A and B are shown apart, each in its own frame.
Chain A
Amino acid sequence: MVDADVKTKCFISEKKQPYLYMKVSLTIDGEDVGQLTPVQYKYLIMQALKETLGQIGASYTVDLLKLSSNGVALLRLPRGYSDKLWAALTMYGATPAKRRCAFRVLQVSPFLMGLVVDSRWQQ
Chain B
Amino acid sequence: MATSIQNATFLFHNYSLGERTDKEQSVVLNRYFNHALTVILPGASVIPHPVLECFSDQLAYRLHRLPLYRLIEIPFIQAFVKKGAVHMMSVNTKLDTSDCVAVTPSGCLLLHLTKDTYEQLGLEARKQTYHEKISDIYVVQINLLADHFRPGKKGYDRVLWCLKDRLDLAFNFLVAWEPHDDKVCSSSLGVYFAEKCPRVERVAQEKTSRVFTSLPCPKIDAVQPEGSEDGCHYQEVFEWLGAVACGIDITSEDTGPDSYTSTLACPDPKYNCPRGCVFQVSGFITPQTVLKVWKTLREYTACHPRKLADQPDCAWVCRQPRHSQAGCTQFLCLWR
Contact = CB atoms under 8 A, between A and B. Distances in A.
Contacts of A56: none
Interface residues of A, number: 51
B10 A17 contact: yes
Nearest to A63: B262
A53 interface: no
Interface string B60-90: 0010000000000000000000000000000
A20 to B, nearest CB: 7
A65 B9 contact: no
B22 to A, nearest CB: 13
Contacts of A21: 242, 327
Contacts, number: 183
Which of B94, B174, B238, B239 has most chain A Cβ within 10 Å?
A: B239
Given A6-B222, A11-B11, A113-B241, A66 B248 contact: yes
Interface residues of B, number: 67
Given A1-B301, A38-B254, 20 more contacts: A1-B17, A2-B16, A3-B17, A4-B18, A6-B222, A8-B16, A12-B10, A13-B235, A14-B9, A15-B7, A16-B6, A63-B261, A108-B326, A110-B6, A110-B328, A111-B328, A112-B243, A113-B241, A113-B330, A116-B318
Interface of A: 1-17, 20-21, 38-39, 41-42, 61, 63-66, 74, 76, 79, 82-83, 86, 107-123
Interface of B: 2, 5-20, 35-36, 38, 62, 91-92, 94, 172, 174, 222-223, 225-226, 234-235, 238-239, 241-243, 245-249, 254, 260-264, 280, 282, 301-302, 305, 308-309, 316, 318, 320-322, 326-328, 330, 332, 335-336
